[in-house]
Amino acid sequence: MPHVLVWFKRDLRLHDHAALEAACRHAAGGSVRCLYVAEPALWTLPDASAAQWGFVRESLIDLAEALRAWGGELTVWHGDATSALEACWQAAPFDALFAHEETGNAFTYERDRAVARWCHGRGVAWQEWAQNGVVRRLKDRDGWHRHWHRFMSRPCATLPAAPAMPRPQAGPGIAVSTLEDLIQPVGEDPPGRQRGGRTAGLRMLDSFLHRRCARYRGGISSPLSATQACSRLSPYLAWGCLSVREVVQATQERLAQLSLENDDDARRQQAGLTAFLSRLHWHCHFIQKLESEPEIEWRNMHAGYDGLRTELDAARLQALMQGRTGWPLVDACVAMLRETGWLNFRMRAMLVSVATYPLWLPWRPVGLWLARQFVDYEPGIHWSQMQMQAGTTGINTTRVYNPVKQARDQDPQGHFVRRWLPALRRVPDTWLFEPWRMPPDVQQRCGVRVGHDAEADLPYPLVELEDALRNARARVHAVRALPEVQAAAAAIVTRHGSRVNRDGRAAGGPRRKRPTAEAEQPQMSLRF
């Protein structure tokens, strides 16, 4: 009789779990065991954090309870993956290892190669299933858009009502509660972060589909409205508490219901969900970039930009991480990140732009810091976006955010910056977004001091903004204008470029007509 081990990674759910469904079919009359490996080496990497681990641990508790209710058990192993597999195999040999494909960082890539070698040595068949629209070993992007729609239209994987098979003891393992002491990533768990688990994810999905989506269009750019207008599903998608396919299908079903209604609120919800559906497409589009080229985690997508930002100004990076840049909206965003582990897309893009243009910091160390802050850290999206905003892809429009203008556009009354930067609550509106311009007598009346020293209530900006922006643009555009850089961009578009028009439809035309760099522009609308 066949015995199958199902390995859970970033897929912490039972619904639409293709590997578990396949295991139940394959092992009819045999046994199915479920394993999660808590890897200390993974959780001490510079892109891992206590915020992410807290979310994952809560998701594991929720998953274990769901498995018990279904009739199964979750074995949790503390250590490296191959040791976990060997221990489970020694306790009760299994014929096959089933799992979902994972597009992670370099560590998970090398770990999976080690697991493949272990399986080969033990004669264990290892099979993996896609859990989103990402295609492994993809040659080019022609047809990817149609593949995504085919995948999302297939029925979600479902499990039998109860596993009709005997299950032996799962073998060595520990209680999920024990992991709180065994896994201790760097940093503190933000008190205001979202709670993990599929149960919480389903509640968030329901509130968005039936209420909050009406504010999606027009509400996701400002940090004031984005906390409610955004779906807030990103951590549940990143860690697999919800599948992209089930969210796509639930959104389509809700749109069908709304089409039967004829009132203003229904129309606003329809507009919001239609826009959200396009973002789910871009979600997989970005992850595909890392799947196709894992090196973009640490190397410029376009080698022509390798000479830019070669030196790290540690003092500037430290000031950014401490929220002491002197630009109120930037520092307020950093304060919110520390407290909640979340920030809306436009403010994320602004942080990267400020870091890589006026502060002229290399994108890699900035990206590692931000990865630790984000509870919803998804490597494929994260590193693709880091390079897009830093201008090193060679195929995207240069986006340089002015943090003072963004503050006036997105927080005109100053509610956001005053909430997250208490010292600004006493500053008059006139000086709110440029407090370093306050005359000394105004500072004295407000009871605040702007200065260069650490004891100052508000810091001076690290650089003179307009000059720094002008110089940064000139340096990037000088590289972009080089004929050899422009010529090399075509190959990047072939490998990573979207084949989707501005209206969201698949680009047509003969296959020999490759898209230009402008085809990447719709990606700029990706805002979760």
Residue 173 pLDDT:
86
Residue 435 pLDDT:
97
R_g of the chain, CA atoms, integer Å: 24
Q: Nearest-CA neighbor of 163 among 316, 25, 331?
A: 25
User: pTM value?
Assistant: 0.93
CB atoms within 10 A of CB 84: 25
Which residues in the chain are classed under CATH 1.10.579.10?
297-525
What class does CATH assign to 198-293?
A: mainly alpha
Which residues in the chain are classed under CATH 3.40.50.620?
3-182
Q: What is the distance between the alpha carbons of residues 255 and 249, in angstroms, rounded to a whole number?
A: 10
Q: What's the pLDDT tens digit per position in 366-424?
A: 999 999 999 999 999 999 999 999 999 988 888 899 999 999 999 999 999 999 999 99
Question: What SS3 state is found at 512?
Answer: coil
Phi, psi angles (nearest 5°) of residue 54: -60, -40
CATH of region 3-182: 3.40.50.620
What percentage of the chain carries pLDDT values higher than 70?
92
Sequence-distant (6+) residues with CB within 8 A of 145 are: 281, 498, 499, 500, 506, 507
Mean pLDDT of 429-447: 96
Residue 347 confidence (pLDDT) above 70 = yes
Give the least confident one: 116-120, 300-304, 522-526.
522-526
Q: Are 235 and 58 in contact (CB under 8 A)?
A: no
Mean pLDDT of 91-110: 96
Domain at 297-525, CATH homologous superfamily: DNA Cyclobutane Dipyrimidine Photolyase, subunit A, domain 3 (1.10.579.10)
Residue 503 confidence (pLDDT) above 50 = no
Which residues in the chain are classed under CATH 1.25.40.80?
198-293
Residue 171 pLDDT:
57
Residue 521 confidence (pLDDT) above 90 = no
Mean pLDDT of 509-517: 41
DSSP state of 358: T
Q: What's the pLDDT tens digit per position in 48-93?
A: 999 999 999 999 999 999 999 998 999 999 999 999 999 999 999 9
Sequence-distant (6+) residues with CB within 8 A of 292 are: 138, 495, 496
- How sure is the predictor about 507, in pLDDT bands with cuts at 50, 70 and 90? low
Residue 501 pLDDT:
53
Q: What's the pLDDT tens digit per position in 173-231?
A: 898 989 988 999 988 999 999 999 999 999 999 999 999 999 999 999 999 999 999 99
Residue 165 confidence (pLDDT) above 90 = no
* Whole-number average pLDDT of the chain: 91
- How sure is the predictor about 498, in pLDDT bands with cuts at 50, 70 and 90? confident
